[in-house]
Structure 1
Amino acid sequence: MEDYPLEYYEFFVSFNEGDYYTCHDLLEEMWMTDKGNLFLKGLLQMSVSIYHYEYGNVKGARLMMQAAQEYLQSYRPKHWGINLEHVYGFIEECLSIFPENIDRLPFEMIESLPKLPQLVLYLED
């Protein structure tokens, strides 16, 4: 089994618990030491996208998810123990769910947004 940074393991726990803000912090910490790593940047953008969506920033969510899709493309089908085909299905589903005609919703209307699918991330090696 490959040895990953501790933050990477912590990212899985936070992501699966739905703590996308912590995911951002953990991934950013790793990415800052390796800015050419578009894999980490892609996971970071995906986490930020979900976070934005949950707070009604639909436009930000859409832009971040599109960026994640682009950054992760060259790492398919599997990288650092993650099945990216599984992640890609999630990204494409989210992009199809994000309302096209909404940029931002006030906090009290967030419940009216369509729910995103659940993605469970785990290491396969």
Structure 2
Amino acid sequence: MASMDISLKEMMAIDGSIGAAIVDYGSGMALGSLGGSKELDLQVAAAGNTEVMKAKLRTMESLGLKDGIEDILISLSSQYHLIRPITGRSGKGLFVYLALDRGRANLALARHQLRVIEEKLEV
């Protein structure tokens, strides 16, 4: 099992990473974050992506879908944003968020690496 600090460092080591956070989607607060920039305020991103997560969960409930969310991908012209719910017992109500530079990232590899990091995370 990995701590939050180790997991954030591992997320930032993924090629193309520009910011990473672990977010409580009940409150919209980032419990921890690393990276970011003037253009990517991770606190604002945490709050905004909380709304994305809640909207998807509500939609799935309305549709009667019993499946779980593996990850949510938002593709921008210059970035990828990945949202992945934490599946471990200690992570209920939390998600990991990773912003990637689209020109430097390998999306398939980043999704795989993020899954591995999320599975080891102990909050």
TM-score calculated relative to the size of structure 2: 0.29
Larger radius of gyration: 1
The structure in which a higher percent of residues are strand is 2
Q: Which has the higher contact order (CA 8 A, sep 6+)?
A: 2
**TM-score between the two structures when normalised by the length of structure 1:** 0.29
